[in-house]
Structure 1
Amino acid sequence: MPTAANLLAIMPFPDIDPIAFSIGPLAIHWYGLAYVAGILLGWAYARRIAANDSLWPGNASPISRTQLDDFIVWAALGVVLGGRLGYIFFYDLS
């Protein structure tokens, strides 16, 4: 009986190009699309939770819609800059 390691070794893996599509010299990678999708879905989910007053003590959301929107923009900027700095410090420190 084949083991899991043997089955994994013979399983064909697709050869997917890391670039989803290109617009001129600008290449859009799959992981970039995943970041954008995650941020947008998280933003929509957080807005729904913040708008539901019955979830919060005193039936009042602790954050306004404008504050939440500002937080998401700053968090997305932090993710992009932090990811770039992490890459520089851990992989390209020359």
Structure 2
Amino acid sequence: MPFPNIDPILVQLGPFAIRWYALAYVAGILLGWRYATGLLRNTALWTHRPAPFTPEQMDDLILWIAIGVIGGGRLGHVLFYTPLSQTLADPLSIFRVWE
């Protein structure tokens, strides 16, 4: 069976492009956030001990998780796909996420 030729870009408006994998990241973070917040608000789960943190603290945690996912994804791309000589020649290229 041949591999399907699927365009990785869902929508492109000028230089701004929304890619399929970006939607997967967003959906995963949002679904995980809603699920974890629902677990924290379910009092039946926390009858013998208090919940480890509040739903408001979960909101803050999700923000830091999203920042870590974006930063870690960029760092992984630079480490695994960008030649070291190119990175050493132009260290600011690490921050060029549009390339």
TM-score w.r.t. structure 2 length?
Answer: 0.77
Find the counterpart in structure 2 of residue 58 from structure 1: 48
- Rate the CA distance shift 1:13–1:87 in 2: closer, same or farther, 3 A: closer
Find the counterpart in structure 2 of residue 37 from structure 1: 27
2:64 is aligned with 1:79: no
Percent of aligned pairs with the same residue?
Answer: 56
One-letter amino acid of the structure 1 residue matched with residue 39 of structure 2:
I
Aligned residues: 84
SS of match in other structure, 2:12: strand
1:15-66 Cα shifts (integer Å, max 9, x gaps): 1101011122101110001000000011010111111122125253221111
Alignment partner of 2:36 out of 46, 68, 71: 46
The structure with the larger Rg is 1
Task: Tell me the distance in 2 between the aligned counterparts of 1:78 and 1:41.
Answer: 17
One-letter amino acid of the structure 1 residue matched with residue 43 of structure 2:
D
2:81 is aligned with 1:91: yes
* Structure 1 outlier segments of 4+, above 6 Å: none
Gap runs ≥5 in structure 2? 87-99
Task: Tell me the distance in 1 between the aligned counterparts of 2:3 and 2:79.
Answer: 32
Gap runs ≥5 in structure 1? 1-10
One-letter amino acid of the structure 1 residue matched with residue 65 of structure 2:
A
